[in-house]
Structures are given as C-alpha cells and as structure tokens.
Amino acid sequence: EPEVTQTPSHQVTQMGQEVILRCVPISNHLYFYWYRQILGQKVEFLVSFYNNEISEKSEIFDDQFSVERPDGSNFTLKIRSTKLEDSAMYFCASSEQGTGQETQYFGPGTRLLVL
Amino acid sequence: DQQVKQNSPSLSVQEGRISILNCDYTNSMFDYFLWYKKYPAEGPTFLISISSIKDKNEDGRFTVFLNKSAKHLSLHIVPSQPGDSAVYFCAASGGGGSNYKLTFGKGTLLTVNP
C-alpha cells in the first residue's frame, strides 16, 4: 500500500541552525501538507502546497519557514533559523485532489529537537 | 482556539465491549470529519471519515455518527480489541473558506484491556 515517507526520523540541532525536513508524498497525490505537534499539544496545520505554490498557511508559518518541491518526488520543509520552540514532531501529509472532502495521509513524522 | 474538542483525555474498556469516543466542534462551516488513530512515535493513521451530508458511516468494526444540530460526532468500535489501544484524533475540514487544512482535537487515549 502506498505511503508517505519522511526523513530523518529524528533531528537534533542547535538554536539558530537551519534544518530541512524531507517527505516523499504518495506518488499520484497532488496536494501536500505540513503539520506539527508540540509535545502534549494538538496536531497543528502549518502549510498546504499545490502546483508548486503555497495554497494556504497558518500564522505559525512565518518567514523562517519555507516549503519546496525540488524534484518530482520530494517535498521539503525548511526552517531557516531554528528556535527552542520549534521542537516538535513534524508530519507531512498528502491527498489526491485537495477537494477538502478527502483523506489526508500522514507520514511517520520527524522529531525535531532544538537545543 | 478550540474549534474541535475531545473532552475525554482517556478511555478504558474491556476487550470485546464497545468503545465510544466523542468529539464536538464549534465551526458550523466544517463539512468533512475524520478519525485518525496514532501509536507512539508514528504518524496519524486514517480510520474513517464522514461528510456533513451523512449522519452515519460504517467500515467493519468502526462506525462514525454525526449529529450536525449538536455539532457532535462519535466513533464506535465494536468489538474492541487490545490492538485498538492508541490515541484517537478527531479532525475536521472545510471551515470558513479553508478547504484544505485539517483542524484536530487533542486526542483521546483508548486502552482496551484483555
């Protein structure tokens, strides 16, 4: 069964460093998403992406965040200058058509720890 | 901002009995609802969904009920099995011009005892 994959599974970085989290969405899906879950809190939407453009972003997704689809398979989330409060699980998701009434399928997540 | 609420942080049931997980929402623009199951150190796994035009959807042991007037949905698992022990998240989409993002509840930890 097709699945979303994410690398790395864990990332430890120093405050102020740049990190890139990688995702391979399900191959025939057109819409891609990033969510995060800070320990003990809800899963929160960060950004959605379609046709090489951001479709929607939350207030969390400020100028230090960016997303990119550098090739036909990868979808990346870059955090330019990490802060302590960026420590969280980051989940990538994808959906087939982005109609809003369809399932988003999630990857296993990347645990980011900022020291 | 608690547009999706799961008021029970945990639920414990005996194997073979029914598990009922509840979810309330406040945004009347939500038109699609999903339940995800999550094990520690894994991503959310899709279980079942329901559109706002329906009041019930069933898939094997899992049934989701939607009461739009009460802005309430529930997930029924019958019979419950020990492997069902996980955190269950309710999520909704379609709120107020946003067709894409999912808004999640805080989750309910279900423990099914053998």
pLDDT in tens, B75-90: 999 999 999 999 999 9
pLDDT interval class at B56 (50, 70, 90): very high
Integer Cα distance of A110 and A59 in angstroms:
21
Mean pLDDT of B43-72: 96
Nearest CA to CA, how far is B76 from chain A (Å)? 19
Calculate the CA B73 to chain-centre distance.
Answer: 7
pLDDT computed for residue A100 by the predictor:
65
How far apart are alpha carbons B100 and B85 in whole angstroms? 29
Q: In whole numbers, what is the pLDDT of chain B averaged over residues?
A: 93
Greatest alpha-carbon span in chain A: 39
DSSP B95: G
List CB contacts of A44: < 8 A, sequence separation 6 or more: A35, A36, A37, A38, A58, A60, B104
pLDDT attached to residue A102: 85
Answer whether B10 touches A (CB < 8 Å).
no
Q: Which two tokens stand for residue B70?
A: 């009460």
The tokens describing A113, both together, are 């720890």
Token pair in block for residue B54:
């329906």
Q: How far is CA A101 from CA A83, B26, B33, B38, B92, in A?
A: 35, 18, 8, 21, 10
Write phi, then psi, for B14 (nearest 5 degrees).
-85, 145
* Residues in chain A closer than 8 A to B49 (CB atoms): 103
Which phi and psi angles does A4 have, rounded to 5°? -85, 135
**Å between A83 CA and nearest CA of chain B:** 22
Residues of chain A with pLDDT under 70: 98-100
Angstrom distance (rounded) from CA A59 to CA B91: 19
Number of C-beta neighbours around residue B43 at 10 A: 23
With a cut of 70, say whether residue B96 has pLDDT above it.
no
Whether the pLDDT of residue B97 is over 80: the answer is no
- C-alpha to C-alpha distance for B107 and B51, rounded to whole angstroms: 20
Q: How confident is the model at residue B98 (pLDDT cuts 50, 70, 90)?
A: low
- Which one of B100, B103, B104, B106 would you mutate to disrupt binding with A, by most A Cβ within 10 Å of its Cβ? B100
Least CB-CB distance to B49: which of A33, A55, A103? A103
Contact B35, B47 (CB under 8 A): yes
In the structure, how many helices (H) and strands (E) does chain A have?
0, 11
Residue B6 sits at the chain A interface (C-beta within 8 Å):
no
Contacts of A42 in chain B (CB under 8 A): 104-107
CA distance A38 to B5: 17
Confidence of residue B95 (pLDDT cuts 50, 70, 90): low
